[in-house]
Amino acid sequence: MIPLEINGKRQNIDLPGETPLLWTLRDELGLTGTKFGCGMALCGACTVHLDGQAVRSCVTPISTAANKKVVTIEAIGNAPVGKTLQAAWVDLGVPQCGYCQAGQIMSAAALLAHNAKPTDAQIDEAMSGNICRCGTYTRIRAAIKQAVAKRGGTQ
Ligand code: FES
Ligand code: FES
């Protein structure tokens, strides 16, 4: 049994410790907002937070996540930063197909939780591992900047 805390709920998962967190979230717990893209930490579609850090859940074994706080796209709106980001995403109509967008928001939320007023270069660096085949990068950056402005630089 692996003890996990997912979106504030503690639960024991009866899976081998090497099972990727992504599969556990999607197949075991039904949290399908986190997407599978590459399975090799190359696209960012599977990004979740592990103790507040953005991680690629496709290459994170659940043994690594034991006794840490996992937050997924399903709960990021419960935090002020996540809520503001989601509102900016909607306001600016960021998504195209939408497939990458959960990962994009999770990476942006981790950035703003640690850096309330990122520069353009810091935004680009933090988001560089999240690929969007639809090319929504310009609107993603605009939405992050709108969220920063709305929050007045608070974390
Ligand atoms: S599915 Fe995890 S980084 Fe692509
Ligand atoms: S919105 Fe389609 S991949 Fe990003």
Query: Residue 47 corresponds to which tokens in the numbers above?
Result: 């990004």
Asked if the model's pLDDT at residue 111 lies above 90, the reply is yes
Closest ligand 2 atom, CA of 98? 1
Out of 13, 46, 71, a domain closes at 71
- Please tell me whether residues 80 and 65 are part of one structural domain: no
C-alpha radius of gyration, the chain, whole number: 15
Whether 14 and 35 map to the same domain: the answer is yes
DSSP 64: H
Same domain (yes/no): 93, 128: yes
Answer whether residue 118 shows pLDDT above 80. Answer: yes
Q: Are residues 56 and 92 in the same domain?
A: no
User: Looking at residue 135, which CATH number applies to its domain?
Assistant: 1.10.150.120
What does the angle CA 110 – CA 111 – CA 117 come to, to the nearest 5 degrees?
140
Residue 153 pLDDT grade (very low, low, confident, very high; cuts 50, 70, 90): low
Residue 151 reports pLDDT greater than 90: no
Q: 61 and 109 share a domain?
A: no
For ligand 1, is residue 58 a contact (CB within 6 Å)?
A: yes
| pLDDT one-digit tens code per residue, 13-67 | 999 999 999 999 999 999 999 999 999 999 999 999 999 999 999 999 999 999 9
CATH code at 66? 3.10.20.30
Average pLDDT (139-144) is: 98
Verify that 101 and 36 share a domain, yes or no: no
Query: In this model, does residue 119 exceed pLDDT 80?
Result: yes
- Mutation to probe ligand 1, out of 25, 34, 58 (largest number of atoms < 8 A from CB): 58
Name the residue range of residue 124's domain: 76-151
Q: Above 90 in pLDDT, residue 152?
A: no
Instruction: Give the count of alpha carbons within 13 A of 70, CB side only.
Output: 30
What is the 104 CA–ligand 2 centroid distance (Å)?
A: 9
Q: 46 in ligand 1 pocket by Cβ < 6 Å?
A: yes
> How many domains does the structure of the chain reveal?
2
pLDDT at 155 (0 to 100): 64
Can you give the pLDDT at residue 85? 98
pLDDT at 5 over 90: yes
81 and 139 both lie in a single domain: yes
pLDDT in tens, 71-108: 999 999 999 999 999 999 999 999 999 999 999 999 99
The Cα 36–Cα 50 span in angstroms is 17
Whether residues 117 and 136 fall in one domain: yes
The answer to whether the CB of 46 falls within 8 A of the CB of 37 is yes
The reply to whether 58 and 85 lie within a common domain is no
